Amino acid sequence: MLTYAATGPEGTPTVIEVVRERLGAGGIEHVVVATTSGKTAVDFANALDDLDARLVAVTHHAGFREGDEFELEQAHADALSAAGATIITCSHALSGVGRSISRTFGGVTAPELVAHTLRMFGQGMKVCVEIAVMAADAGAIPTDRDVLCVGGSGRGADTAVVLRPAHAGNLFDLRVREVLCMSEAGKSP
């Protein structure tokens, strides 16, 4: 089943519905959700609280936008903790130091090429792969079974995939198994 969701917060309810349906089919224990302020992850925590799935929220690292600030709002972090979610905050797997090299010296790095290639399927697909690697590297999800990842294009959720995660050092072992939902931006003409 492939559903197209609107980009941004308008797509989140559709993605939640698709994720609930897939979790009902079984075989998935972890749901990894990209979140900036924490609101999207809280929406998923609330919507999935009656299901047996472990929620992992992956946030931007400190200084992603500017300064040393975190974008994760404390009220959302508290709600996620109360819901039993794991919160991961670390450097982005497909940019991190590579972005600094590109900004300073120009050119493009291998991780940026991977990121741009994934964006051909939509920004949400790139995010799903990236947060899977980040969560695996943090030890929050296993790499020997499939997980469900939720990403978006800015704010909100518009993409959901089932994938077999991998650590950054084994990135090309990652396998996308099912594309459940994606944004119109990733839709083929």
Q: What is the pLDDT of residue 62?
A: 57
CA distances from 117 to 31, 33, 41, 168 (A): 24, 21, 26, 16
Q: Convert the pLDDT of each residue in 132-167 to its tens digit.
A: 999 999 999 999 999 999 999 888 999 999 999 999
Q: What total of structural domains would you count in the chain? A: 1
pLDDT(68) > 60: no
Q: Convert the pLDDT of each residue in 74-127 to its tens digit.
A: 999 999 999 999 999 988 888 777 777 887 888 888 889 899 899 899 899 999
Containing domain of residue 119, as a range?
Answer: 3-186
- Strands 3-5, 54-59: pairing kind: unpaired
pTM above 0.85, yes or no: yes
Q: Is 70 helix (H, G, I), strand (E, B) or coil?
A: coil
CATH number of the domain that residue 170 is part of: 3.40.1380.20
Q: Is 165 helix (H, G, I), strand (E, B) or coil?
A: coil
